[in-house]
């Protein structure tokens, strides 16, 4: 497939116009390689490990959620140089879907809702709310375990979720106003926890977003490359 | 003691000129009450629970680390109205020491270093580095348990610590350049963890900063009010 | 009446969307007190005298034109602390209508036009123009006397008025273009007077705006609290 | 005298480096005419009347306190065109001394202090404070009469004065802290009057600043052109 | 003709709303003189030579493309004083049409396209593209000679042109995408030339824009004043 | 030589602290390749031709005056991708000296002054002035010919020069005030030419700056790669 056709297909899956303004110039074809695309790899982040695996797989295209060029650069040195050298010298393309994929149908939040078997789902300004029959322990286990619970949960009926870093006071208020009794996201801050109007389950960013990339890979026939952060609880 | 004398004493403990620019107008006497100060309470945050306990204790002054008026306001409504009503109607003063106390001698970072028995301490642009004989498990237990470990630690020799939310890529690089082998702070972000040059121990913001307020209370003969966030690990 | 119902009624009288952008977050329920509203006081400014009278009257709600929290604050000290303590400890609400009430039908400018018996009124971008049968002396007397006259007036036929601080060169030009022969407002500046295309009558800010609050109180059955500034001419 | 020599002399009288930042590019030789300077006129403002008188006097130079080109322009039309035509076609120079003359020794504030016979004068960040033996009525009369008095004055002992528009809350607080019991300036605003910590005498901007231009003219042997605004009190 | 009628006519020729935002306040009647307009002169720039010729011709109005008051001023000195004195003391009007005339029908770009006998013209976001039967040498000669050619031209078929300073990378890309094979404008920069996707013919700004003013003069019965910059090639 | 030693040597030749603020993050080691540096190529610009020649020469390091990453990027596509791929996949380093080399001793302006045999040289805020015995034709020929002369030159005695794009009105005024009678630079603009106080010789940016890179290469034993823009005069 020509890279233009591939891009068109991606833009159907995750329309660029759904993205937040801060994603401008940071999504789409972020590194341009060869024009014929047959082998595609997919991952959450373009880590050195992920790029090495994609090169070994002779991928023509690597699709990720987080761009490795978030901060605009005028020099290619250090860690970035190694990554760019690996990608450019193998003539691989790098394609990024970020907040446009968060919001897309069958995108990051939808995949998470499906993983947690939510029903009667209604959207929020970001993420969604749905009826949940799982306990906190079951939610944690579906997300790889070791979640953190802020506040006290009796029984979850309506769960609000925002994949990624979504513990924003405005989103918490919105979720509460819409009837949620528990809020699931990642990267809780102390100042937010202190005034949270709902109990909060904190998973990792990776645990919440990687499932969407994995499901997309399966659906598209791509090779998914898993690279979770090394994380453990110290008792 | 007159409130002016109390303020002078506080400014010796935590000189306002040590504070970050973003703390301007947000430290010092943040709510002005009666002028005679004899009973003093102290806590990390001015939560509703803390203020209620201080009122019950007939405190003339409450000293905290985090101001409840961080965002400038032009209205006093909702949660803030309740807090302000409790403070103002009891004529209590509220005094805030924030980044000036982080950096003060015997301040937040010094108290944390002492709690972890660090030796041969040298300062960083924020926080410090010291020789550490504790294992990650021992560190976690001194901090109330349930820390998270990002990456792999063999044996800690030189520990960098930044109380509060200090997982900044620039601080991590600085710590590594200064010889640290492990970095302790709170509120890790996925994007930082992905490129961290050191293994990181993530405690809670409260666990890292409350000890300093507690020690200060003991030293000054104040009543310390403990109010940790309700947090547990879901397996 | 529940405070929500009271607010709804106020928003009919002075729709928030009529307000200037600079009034954002500075109008409406600026201090939140008890929810049951029966006694209402009203004044132009929330001065210490006004608040004391409202407390003595056991008011549930004080309605004013000028917010006492114009500059956003991160501390409650000095004069503001006294005012906030009086309001919050008596559980009184404070509601502000500012430029939205200036522009409202039967609002500040309308009340002033009525006080001066203007006819054939047409609106300006702010304030209005109307046919006037009063002499400058009669106008001054209806406004409490001691107005200042800049320039020379023969006979007033069409009077432009802007309640508050309205001697803006653009408003003066607009008034002249629309056929006004005299301009009434408050707080004249030297630089504006030097190039004014019309003779100007300068009353006090209070004299121009208080009548609207007084009329509103009468209409609504509220208690109006008058607190004009102490001002006299020295010969 | 060559215009360069004239400018040097002026810069000794009112050093440009004393000016506020907002005066940048707005003081000094603001309109450049002929190079030989013998006849000099002086006024507070470059009004059409003043310029006409200066042209009739065949002035080579007009010295004023307030520039007629305050707002930067990209077109010369309307009132400004008339003024510029009169000045440029008669080849007259226009020289402006503003906040640098306010602050200069024997400048605007000094001339005002002298006019009011102040003694034991000490400077403020703008204006000054001095011992005063005049009553409010005597002050008003030395300033042409019809001053306004805000608040109540018993007996003036230490008078703070700021020529021009100086009723700034920060200046009022400074004056009080330095022991003033009364504050004299021009262009009072309602919001400032409401919280003024001192009684205030409000004269006109012209009455406070013109004396300095008049005294300067006498000292230098220039022709002073008086053009006070037409202002009267309506009973 | 009254100056208002003249302005109306000009606004039909070059509607102000076509102008770029940066032309705000810098087009239209930039210097206001007498109101009766019979003799009109026209030039590209209001140079001292042009103004002198217009004064000698007793012009009531001078129409130019480039305002002499581009940078907003608060002083009229040096070169500008001489120009303003000449214009204002002769009571002449100065009218500016800039980017609005670039874009107008029969405006600057249209006149240039006509001069070069372009056919099948289609617009670009600025300037236009047309079929061209001239060689580079013929183009250069119609523009007064001594053009510079950047890159290699075989045969011009579709010429893109932007009168004035139009060698912008975005315009060059647009021209190429629209089928142009050569790009004509003025004021090439090294950085642009290095990455230009098309060969470029660089004429002078004057040679590209003066023809439109000349044609306009002929059409309107005005006196055109030619004042090209003194420019020659040194072998 | 290790790349760190090479960088130290470069920083002696062109100290980074001499650079303009706009060069921040855009000079120094802009692309990081292998650490052992033996073969060095040098050019004015990192054009595709220059990079290809440097790759063919197996260069470890390419030193240029103009960075190819001037505009900060978040994607590597199109022309930039080709350039980055060539550099990164050959593991070559790219080092940039820009305004720091302009100002360095024996830097860009010094090399130009030497090429034109200037004597009695004194510095300007940028560039320099020196006594010149060459005619315009001789200057043009030393610069590769086809310079443009704006205005009229009788005999050059004191020549001001600014390598690169230096026709700034402030520099022209400075040069005149310092006694220059002719000004040499590149990239003249119409608006500057119209008010230039001196006759100006306009060479190309390349002709003015490439000599310094060539001389540096000779001095250092590097391979200089010449790549002038294709430019010719059309009669």
Averaged over successive runs of 10 residues, the pLDDT of chain F (235 residues) comes to 97 97 97 98 98 98 98 96 97 98 96 98 96 97 96 95 97 98 98 96 98 97 98 93
Whether the per-residue pLDDT at E154 is higher than 90: the answer is: no
How does strand F200-203 pair with strand F182-186? parallel
Query: In E, what residues contact D, Cβ < 8 A?
Result: 25-26, 28-33, 67, 69-78, 81, 84-85, 88-89, 91
Buried b (16+ CB within 10 A) or exposed e, B97-110: bbbbbbbbeebbbb
Whether the CB-CB separation of D101 and D44 falls below 8 Å is answered with no
pLDDT tens figures, E184-225: 999 999 999 999 999 999 999 999 999 999 999 999 999 999
What is this model's ipTM? 0.95
Whether the CB-CB separation of F228 and F221 falls below 8 Å is answered with no
Q: Quick one: what percent of chain C has pLDDT higher than 90?
A: 99
pLDDT tens figures, B105-123: 999 999 999 999 999 999 9
pLDDT level of residue B235 (50, 70, 90 thresholds):
confident
Of F146, F194, F234, the CB nearest to E140: F234
Average pLDDT estimate for C81-94 = 97
Q: How far is F102 from chain A (nearest CA, A)?
A: 20
- What does the alpha-carbon distance between residue B192 and residue B134 come to, in Å, rounded to a whole number? 25
pLDDT tens figures, B80-102: 999 999 999 999 999 999 999 99
Whether the per-residue pLDDT at B214 is higher than 90: the answer is: yes
Buried b (16+ CB within 10 A) or exposed e, E10-37: beebbebebbeeebeebbbbbbbbeeeb
Chain B residues close to A147, C-beta within 8 Å: 233-234
Whether the per-residue pLDDT at B154 is higher than 90: the answer is: no
Chain A residues close to B191, C-beta within 8 Å: 66, 70
| Amino acid F154: pLDDT | 86
Average pLDDT estimate for D90-103 = 98
Count interface pairs A-F at CB distance under 8 A: 82
| Amino acid F171: pLDDT | 98
- What does the alpha-carbon distance between residue E216 and residue F136 come to, in Å, rounded to a whole number? 38
The structure tokens 């030619």 sit at E226
pLDDT tens figures, C113-148: 999 999 999 999 999 999 999 999 999 999 999 999
Q: How far is F201 from chain A (nearest CA, A)?
A: 34
| Amino acid E235: pLDDT | 87
Q: Do E187 and F186 touch (CB under 8 A)?
A: no
Whether the per-residue pLDDT at C235 is higher than 90: the answer is: no
pLDDT tens figures, C99-109: 999 999 999 99
pLDDT tens figures, D219-231: 999 999 999 999 9
Strand ranges of the sheet holding E147-150, from the earlier edge strand across to the other edge: E119-123, E128-131, E158-161, E182-186, E200-203, E147-150, F231-234
Of F201, F230, F234, the CB nearest to E147: F234
In terms of Cβ atoms closer than 10 Å to its own Cβ (0-12, 13-18, 19+), residue B195 is middle
Q: How far is F36 from chain A (nearest CA, A)?
A: 16
Chain B residues close to A145, C-beta within 8 Å: 234-235
Q: Do B187 and A190 touch (CB under 8 A)?
A: yes
| DSSP state for residue E138 in the 8-state scheme | H
| Amino acid F235: pLDDT | 87
Average pLDDT taken over every residue of chain F: 97
| Amino acid B39: pLDDT | 98
Strand ranges of the sheet holding A61-64, from the earlier edge strand across to the other edge: A28-31, A93-96, A61-64, A40-42, A223-224
Whether the CB-CB separation of B182 and B198 falls below 8 Å is answered with yes
Q: Do F73 and A70 touch (CB under 8 A)?
A: no
The secondary structure of B181-211, three-state, reads CEEEEECCCHHHHHCCCCCEEEECHHHHHHH
* HSE-up (13 A, CA, CB side) for residue F179: 11
- Chains near F, with 3+ CB pairs < 8 A? A, E
DSSP β-bridge partners for residue E187: none
Average pLDDT estimate for B171-200 = 97
Mark whether E and F touch (3+ CB pairs within 8 Å).
yes
The predicted model scores a pTM of: 0.92
Query: In D, what residues contact C, Cβ < 8 A?
Result: 45, 47, 66, 70, 79, 136-137, 139-141, 145-152, 165, 186-191, 193-195, 201, 204-206, 229-235
Query: In B, what residues contact A, Cβ < 8 A?
Result: 45, 47, 66, 70, 79, 136-137, 139-141, 145-152, 165, 186-191, 193-195, 201, 204-206, 229-235
Q: How far is F94 from chain A (nearest CA, A)?
A: 9
pLDDT tens figures, D54-65: 999 999 999 999
Q: Do D26 and E70 touch (CB under 8 A)?
A: no
- Chains near B, with 3+ CB pairs < 8 A? A, C
Q: Do D190 and C186 touch (CB under 8 A)?
A: yes
pLDDT level of residue D20 (50, 70, 90 thresholds):
very high
Q: Do B74 and C31 touch (CB under 8 A)?
A: no
Chain F residues close to A91, C-beta within 8 Å: 85
Average pLDDT estimate for C79-86 = 96
Q: Which two tokens stand for residue B229?
A: 């966030």
Average pLDDT estimate for E144-172 = 96
Q: Do A84 and F84 touch (CB under 8 A)?
A: yes
pLDDT tens figures, E86-128: 999 999 999 999 999 999 999 999 999 999 999 999 999 999 9
| Amino acid B185: pLDDT | 98
Strand ranges of the sheet holding F200-203, from the earlier edge strand across to the other edge: E231-234, F147-150, F200-203, F182-186, F158-161, F128-131, F119-123
The secondary structure of chain C, three-state, reads CEHHHHHHHHHHHCCHHHCCHHHCCCCEEEECCCCECCCEEEEEECCHHHHHHHHHCCCCEEEEEECCCCCCECCECHHHHHHHHHHHHCCCEEEECCHHHHHCCCCHHHHHHHHCCCEEEEECCCCEEEECCCCHHHHHHHCCCCEEEECCCCCCCEEEECCCCCCCHHHHHHHHHCCCCEEEEECCCHHHHHCCCCCEEEECHHHHHHHHHHHHHHHHCCEECCCCCCEEEEC
Q: Do F233 and E232 touch (CB under 8 A)?
A: no
| Amino acid D100: pLDDT | 97
| Amino acid A154: pLDDT | 85
D192: nearest Cα among D206, D164, D173, D177 = D173
| Amino acid E175: pLDDT | 98
| DSSP state for residue E222 in the 8-state scheme | P
Q: Helix crossing, D78-89 with D48-56: angle to 10°?
A: 10
pLDDT tens figures, F168-211: 999 999 999 999 999 999 999 999 999 999 999 999 999 999 99
Between E143 and C235, the more confident residue is E143
pLDDT tens figures, A87-131: 999 999 999 999 999 999 999 999 999 999 999 999 999 999 999
The structure tokens 């350039």 sit at F83
| Amino acid E21: pLDDT | 97
The dihedral sign for the CA sequence B103, B106, B107, B109 = positive
């Amino acid at each position: 497939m020509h890279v233009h056709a591939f891009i068109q297909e991606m833009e159907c899956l995750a329309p660029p116009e759904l993205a937040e303004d801060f994603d401008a110039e940071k999504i789409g074809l972020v590194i341009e390689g060869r024009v014929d695309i047959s082998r595609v790899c997919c991952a959450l982040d373009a880590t050195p490990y992920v790029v090495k695996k994609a090169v070994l797989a002779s991928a023509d295209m690597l699709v990720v959620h987080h761009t490795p060029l978030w901060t605009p650069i005028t020099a290619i040195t250090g860690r970035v140089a190694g990554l760019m050298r690996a990608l450019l010298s193998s003539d691989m393309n790098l394609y990024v879907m970020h907040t446009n994929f968060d919001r897309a149908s069958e995108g990051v939040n939808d995949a998470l809702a499906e993983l947690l078997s939510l029903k009667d789902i209604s959207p929020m300004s970001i993420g969604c709310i749905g009826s949940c029959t799982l306990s906190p322990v079951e939610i944690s286990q579906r997300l790889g375990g070791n979640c953190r619970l802020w506040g006290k949960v009796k029984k979850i009926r309506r769960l609000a979720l925002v994949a990624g870093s979504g513990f924003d006071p405005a989103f918490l208020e919105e979720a509460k106003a819409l009837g949620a009794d528990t809020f699931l996201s990642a990267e809780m801050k102390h100042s937010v926890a202190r005034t949270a109007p709902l109990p909060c389950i904190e998973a990792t960013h990776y645990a919440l977003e990687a499932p969407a990339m994995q499901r997309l890979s399966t659906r598209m026939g791509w090779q998914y490359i898993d690279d979770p952060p090394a994380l453990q609880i110290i008792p």
